Structure 1
Amino acid sequence: MLALLLALPAHASATRTVLVMGDSLSAAYNLAPEQGWVALLARKLAAERPGWRVVNASVSGETTAGGASRIGTELARHSPAVVVIELGANDGLRGLPLEQTRANLERMIRAAGEAGAKVLLIGMRLPPNYGPQYTRGFERNYVELAEAHGAALLPFLLEPIALDRDAFQPDNLHPVAEAQPRLLEHVWPALEPLLDTDSRTSP
């Protein structure tokens, strides 16, 4: 029996999952699902990282409260090795209390860590009209949470396209299909190391 088990291909019983918990920026808002950066990530992993798959649990309009309420179910359902958390933009656009956003994100990071998953925290930035105190505090939440919990951090998802008006749909909030590969290129260097190591986040 042992000989038979050893003879099995390594990937036969070792499929690992990247779980993406995001909002409309990760849910391919107003695009075909296969055009979004998360779907492009799934194709990249299928081609370059056999044994990995992507589950996109992103929901358009999601707040950190929604993500925090759902993550336990998603972790139990998919048993991910890596959790990508891309939430907070809707909190910020609604001017929700920074402490509330931070607590929800921390709850998600802790839950992922306790489930044995590594975490990539993807941050956002807000327009300056929200005021310097709020916008700086909003950005600082991501940095401090990543440092406190040993999570990988990508400070700003939209950084490579933020100043390119043609990269956005008419609402000036959601990227067009042509911009999605640039988002994946931006995310990949932060995500790839999590696929190569056995380190875990600290709960």
Structure 2
Amino acid sequence: MRKLVRYYLILSVFILSSCGENTDKKSGENTAEEVQTETEVQTSEKNVILFFGNSLTAGMGLEPSEAFPALIQNRLDSLDYDFEVINAGLSGETTASGKNRINWVLNQDVDVFVLELGANDGLRGIPLEETRKNLQDIINTVKEKNPDTKIVLAGMQIPPNMGEEYTSEFRNIFPELAQKNNVALIPFLLEGVAGDPKLNQQDGIHPTAEGYKVVAKNVWSVLEKVIKKKQV
């Protein structure tokens, strides 16, 4: 509990001061046209898992290969699952801005959609019903684009700055939406990482490479079941 309180205090200060920062890193481009074409063909033949979130998904402060979506790709490859991971995380993203860009992101076929948004809303004190509605709208859009897409919702928690009632109701948004929409839920994305200095970068918020290994386990414990159902 002491670790979580420390984490929450740092979280409220850091994200509010840097919510507009975009630290996405671009991957290198292939120089050989033949290799590029071959990669495109291989990618199109695989099922797609799209991670849609904020800096926690983007892997702020680390190499893309160290963020949890890349670690999930490694796990998939090691188990010979025919899935391709796309990291669509954007630092500073809120549910409102996520709602605005969701149609652009879905200009490709997505088999599994992992939604990780909401923390920045809570830290800004955005009305809970607005956050809930935006998340619901994103879920609706995914379902409308492709009813067969499996959705995973990542739960998040915020510090008690906004009061106990707000904090509690914010936390409940995620399981309630998961139940309402019959989608899989990761109870708390940062379980086992939040508040632990050894697993977080100097900002006290974003996981280190070791921290992301724990986050990846949290995600995989839910995602693997979804993948298996998708392959049936």
TM-score (norm 1): 0.87
Gapped runs of 5+ residues in structure 1? 1-10
1:83 to 113, 123, 128: 113
Q: Partner letter of residue 140 of structure 1? A: N
Q: Partner letter of residue 197 of structure 1? A: K
1:22 to 53, 68, 93: 53
Which residue of the partner structure matches residue 139 of structure 1?
171
Q: CA deviation at 1:166?
A: 1.9
Q: CA deviation at 1:14?
A: 4.6
Deviation string, structure 1 residues 99-132 (Cα, Å, up to 9, x no partner): 1111110011112222121110001101122211
Distance in 1 (CA, whole Å) between partners of 2:191 and 2:230 is 29
Instruction: Report the CA distance shift for 1:42/1:137 in structure 2 as closer, same or farther (over 3 A).
Output: same
Which residue of the partner structure matches residue 156 of structure 1?
188
Contact 1:112-1:118 at 8 Å conserved across structures: no
Aligned residue for 2:85, secondary structure, equals strand
* Mapped pair 1:111 → 2:146: no
Q: Partner letter of residue 164 of structure 1? A: D
1:181 to 210, 213, 223: 213
Aligned residue for 1:80, secondary structure, equals coil
Instruction: Report the CA distance shift for 1:191/1:128 in structure 2 as closer, same or farther (over 3 A).
Output: same
Q: CA deviation at 1:197?
A: 1.3
Distance in 2 (CA, whole Å) between partners of 1:14 and 1:123 is 31
Instruction: Report the CA distance shift for 1:193/1:161 in structure 2 as closer, same or farther (over 3 A).
Output: same
Which residue of the partner structure matches residue 97 of structure 2?
66
Q: CA deviation at 1:41?
A: 0.9
How many residue pairs align between the two structures? 188
Superposition RMSD in Å: 1.8
Q: CA deviation at 1:198?
A: 3.9
* Mapped pair 1:48 → 2:79: yes
Deviation string, structure 1 residues 136-165 (Cα, Å, up to 9, x no partner): 111111111101100101121111112412
More divergent stretch after superposition (144-153 vs 45-54):
45-54
Distance in 2 (CA, whole Å) between partners of 1:133 and 1:158 is 21
Distance in 2 (CA, whole Å) between partners of 1:26 and 1:12 is 21
Deviation string, structure 1 residues 35-62 (Cα, Å, up to 9, x no partner): 1111111121122133200011110110
Instruction: Report the CA distance shift for 1:101/1:12 in structure 2 as closer, same or farther (over 3 A).
Output: closer
TM-score (norm 2): 0.77
Distance in 2 (CA, whole Å) between partners of 1:39 and 1:90 is 23
Distance in 2 (CA, whole Å) between partners of 1:177 and 1:85 is 21
Which residue of the partner structure matches residue 4 of structure 1?
none
Contact 1:46-1:53 at 8 Å conserved across structures: no
Instruction: Report the CA distance shift for 1:71/1:166 in structure 2 as closer, same or farther (over 3 A).
Output: same
Q: Partner letter of residue 115 of structure 2? A: I
Greater helix content: 2
Deviant stretches of 4+, over 3 Å: 11-14
